């Protein structure tokens, strides 16, 4: 009983310390914040097509096979950084990468693609930036893996790299591409 008098406050202290440690350790920042969209249908959008002036693009037409939705802009430095990786992925024909050009200017976007190459199967233009808000985008670049059923499987906040692709995207695509029908 006597030893309990010391053990109890000590245990209490350790419990509080543990709770605080876990809280501080997991304190959310932009990069590791889990998207609430995961496991939910990708929000629908219909936006102007960058490559076909006057035409519209809708993500409903991509259903049936998985794709990557990549939010980018020419004002975004990290997008420049990940561009080569996207080029490599598109060359390897992994899955189609759909670009979402966020609050950008068309001529700058065209110039960028001519200079650096175009990894995108299609590019939608969102000048007002409404669609990225629906996707909970905090900053460019962000990449969403949408499966064949239109469900968001993964969100990457930050530039794509080959190691992230191998670790996070490739296994999910391998597991999900068969699901359609």
Contact residues: other proteins, CB under 8 A: 28-30, 33-37, 103, 128-130, 133-139
Measuring CA to CA, which residue among 158, 129, 132 is closest to residue 143? Answer: 158
Q: CB nearer to other proteins: give 9 or 64.
A: 9
Query: Tell me, what DSSP letter sits at residue 28?
Result: -
- Give the ranges where the chain is alpha helix by DSSP (H): 2-25, 77-91, 106-116, 130-134, 162-164, 170-176
Taking the complex as a whole, the smallest distance from the CB of residue 112 to other proteins amounts, in Å, to 19
DSSP secondary structure string, 150-177?
SBEEEEEES---HHHIIIIIHHHHHHHT
Taking the complex as a whole, the smallest distance from the CB of residue 150 to other proteins amounts, in Å, to 17
Q: CB nearer to other proteins: give 89 or 156.
A: 156
Q: CB nearer to other proteins: give 73 or 122.
A: 73
Q: CB nearer to other proteins: give 91 or 127.
A: 127
Taking the complex as a whole, the smallest distance from the CB of residue 181 to other proteins amounts, in Å, to 29
Measuring CA to CA, which residue among 159, 148, 152, 109 is closest to residue 134? Answer: 152
List the Cα angle 41/161/30 in 5-degree steps: 60
Taking the complex as a whole, the smallest distance from the CB of residue 99 to other proteins amounts, in Å, to 19
């Amino acid at each position: 009983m006597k030893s309990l008098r010391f053990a109890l406050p000590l245990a209490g202290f350790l419990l509080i310390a543990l709770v605080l440690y876990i809280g501080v350790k997991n304190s959310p920042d932009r990069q590791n914040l889990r998207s609430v969209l995961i496991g939910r249908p990708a929000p629908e959008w219909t936006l102007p097509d960058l490559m076909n002036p006057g035409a519209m693009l809708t993500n409903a037409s991509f259903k049936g096979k998985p794709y990557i939705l990549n939010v980018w802009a020419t004002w975004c430095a990290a997008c420049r950084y990940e561009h080569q990786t996207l080029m490599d992925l598109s060359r390897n024909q992994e899955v189609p990468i759909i670009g979402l050009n966020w609050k950008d200017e068309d001529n700058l976007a065209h110039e960028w693609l001519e200079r650096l190459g175009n990894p995108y199967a299609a590019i939608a233009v969102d000048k007002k930036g409404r669609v990225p808000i629906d996707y909970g985008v905090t900053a460019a670049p962000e990449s969403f893996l949408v499966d064949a059923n239109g469900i968001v499987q993964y969100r990457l906040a930050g530039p794509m790299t080959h190691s992230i692709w191998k670790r996070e995207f490739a296994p999910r695509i391998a597991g999900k591409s068969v699901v359609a029908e």
